[in-house]
Amino acid sequence: MHATFPLLKETDFPGINRSDLTAIQVNLGYRCNQQCLHCHVNAGPNRKEEMNAKTISQLKDYLLCADASTLDLTGGAPELNPNFRELVCYAKSIGMHVIDRCNLTVLEEPGQEGLAEFLAEQGVEITASLPCYLEENVNAQRGKEVYAKSIRVLQKLNSLGYGDLHNDDESKTGNANNGLILNLMFNPQGPVLPPPQQQLEADYRQYLAEHFGITFNQLFTLTNMPIKRFGSTLISKGGFEGYMSLLRDSFKEENAHQLMCRNTISIDWQGYVYDCDFNQLLDMPLVDQGGSSLHIRNLINTNLQDRPVMVADHCYGCTAGQGSSCGGALNT
C-alpha cells in the first residue's frame, strides 16, 4: 500500500483549536466478521488487535472524570471485543450516551445472540454502515450476502423500536430520549464528493420503506479521506492530486468552525489519544509535554481545552462542500 502521509503533512490548512470535549470515540479493535474492500483499518476475522481489560479499565477511569457526555464505539466490529457489553453498561451507569458504530451483520454472528436486545435495553444509539440502498453495490463493496443480512438486521432493530421516527414511548423503548436512534452511513464509491445529504436520505428512506418496510432516523454522508487504502488506490491510479484539488477547491470556511476534532477525541485500541479517527489512521497522536504519545492513563491530568489540533492536508476532506464528520454533513 502507498503511504499517503508524506503527501499530506506539508499543509496550508487553517489552524484550529480544541473547544469543550463532548465525545470520546474509542476503537475497540480491528477484528471484524466482514472484510470489506474499502476498509480503512484493514479489519477482518483474523485480526488480533483489541483493547484489553487493563486499557478498558483506564478508559473507564477517564470517562468517570471527563466532561464528555458521549462514548462512541468503533472498530473493526466493536461488539466482538469481549468487554463490549460491560463497557456499555458502565458508560450508561454513569449517565453517558453511547453510540455503537455497527456493521449490522455482526448481530447475526454466532455468539452474538441477544446483542440487538441488549443494545435496545441499554438505549444505545446505532450508526450503521449501509453504503447504498441497492443490493448489488453493497455486496460488491462489503461481500456476498451482506445486503440480505443487513436488511434482516435492520428489520429486527425496527421491531425492537429502533428508527421509529414517531416513537417516544419510554415504556417500550426503555429510552426517554425520543426512542432508539438508528442512523445509516454513506460514503461515495469513488473520488467524488458525496451527494447532498438530505436528498440522498430521502432516496434511502423511500427505497427501504417501499421494499422492506424499514425506517431509520438519519442518513449521514461521509467524504472519502485521501488516506489508507482509498488514498493508496488514488496514487496507484494517478488520481491523488486531482482528488486533493477537488477537496481544496471545495473548501468552505463555515465548516471549519464545526469540525468534530474541536470537541471529540479518538482513542486507539492500545489507549493512545488522537484529535480524530483519521489522525489515528495516519499515526498522528497527541503528544505530552515530553513529546511522547499521549496515553489514556495520562489524560486525566491533561488539559485539552484550546489545544491546537494536529492538521494536515487530509483535513480538507472535512471542510469540502457540505462538510463531513462522524455525524455526517456539517452544513446541509
Stretch that binds ligand SF4, among 27-35, 53-61, 187-195, 244-252 (CB under 6 A): 27-35
According to the binding rule CB under 6 A, does residue 32 interact with ligand SF4? Answer: yes
According to the binding rule CB under 6 A, does residue 102 interact with ligand SF4? Answer: no
The percent helix, strand, coil of the chain (3-state, each to 5) is 40, 15, 50
Tell which one of 23, 43, 91, 181 touches ligand SF4 (CB under 6 A). 43
Q: Check if the beta carbon of residue 302 is closer than 8 Å to that of residue 193.
A: no
Block residue for cell numbers 473493526: 76
Task: Give min distance, CB of 169 to ligand SF4, in A.
Answer: 32
According to the binding rule CB under 6 A, does residue 314 interact with ligand SF4? Answer: yes
Alpha helices (H) along the chain: 5-8, 53-65, 84-93, 115-122, 135-142, 146-159, 170-173, 197-212, 228-236, 240-249, 253-256, 277-281, 316-319
According to the binding rule CB under 6 A, does residue 39 interact with ligand SF4? Answer: yes
Nearer to ligand SF4, 125 or 275 (CB): 275
What's the rounded Cα separation, in Å, for the pair 218 and 36? 23
Task: Give min distance, CB of 53 to ligand SF4, in A.
Answer: 22
According to the binding rule CB under 6 A, does residue 259 interact with ligand SF4? Answer: yes
According to the binding rule CB under 6 A, does residue 261 interact with ligand SF4? Answer: yes
Tell me if residue 162 falls in helix, strand or coil. Answer: strand
Nearer to ligand SF4, 123 or 231 (CB): 231
According to the binding rule CB under 6 A, does residue 276 interact with ligand SF4? Answer: yes
C-alpha cell at 96: 453517558
What's the rounded Cα separation, in Å, for the pair 165 and 217? 6
Tell me if residue 72 falls in helix, strand or coil. Answer: strand
Task: Give min distance, CB of 224 to ligand SF4, in A.
Answer: 12
Task: Fill in the per-residue mask, 293 to 312: x = in contact with ligand SF4 (CB under 6 A), - = not in contact.
Answer: ----------------x-x-
Binders of ligand SF4 in range 50-79 (CB under 6 A)? 75-77
According to the binding rule CB under 6 A, does residue 278 interact with ligand SF4? Answer: yes
Block residue for cell numbers 485480526: 47
Which strands make up the sheet holding 23-27, listed edge to edge?
219-221, 182-186, 125-129, 97-102, 70-74, 23-27, 264-267, 273-274
Stretch that binds ligand SF4, among 34-42, 48-56, 160-168, 202-210 (CB under 6 A): 34-42
What's the rounded Cα separation, in Å, for the pair 246 and 224? 12
Q: Within 10 A of 211 (CB to CB), how many other CB atoms are there?
A: 11
Give residues with Cβ within 8 angstroms of 254, minimum separation 6.
Answer: 323, 330, 331
According to the binding rule CB under 6 A, does residue 279 interact with ligand SF4? Answer: yes
Nearer to ligand SF4, 103 or 197 (CB): 103
Task: Fill in the per-residue mask, 112 to 151: x = in contact with ligand SF4 (CB under 6 A), - = not in contact.
Answer: -----------------x----------------------
Task: Give min distance, CB of 22 to ligand SF4, in A.
Answer: 14
Instruction: Give me the residues that bind ligand SF4 (CB under 6 A), please.
Output: 32, 34-36, 39, 43, 75-77, 103, 129, 259-261, 275-276, 278-279, 309, 311, 314-315, 318
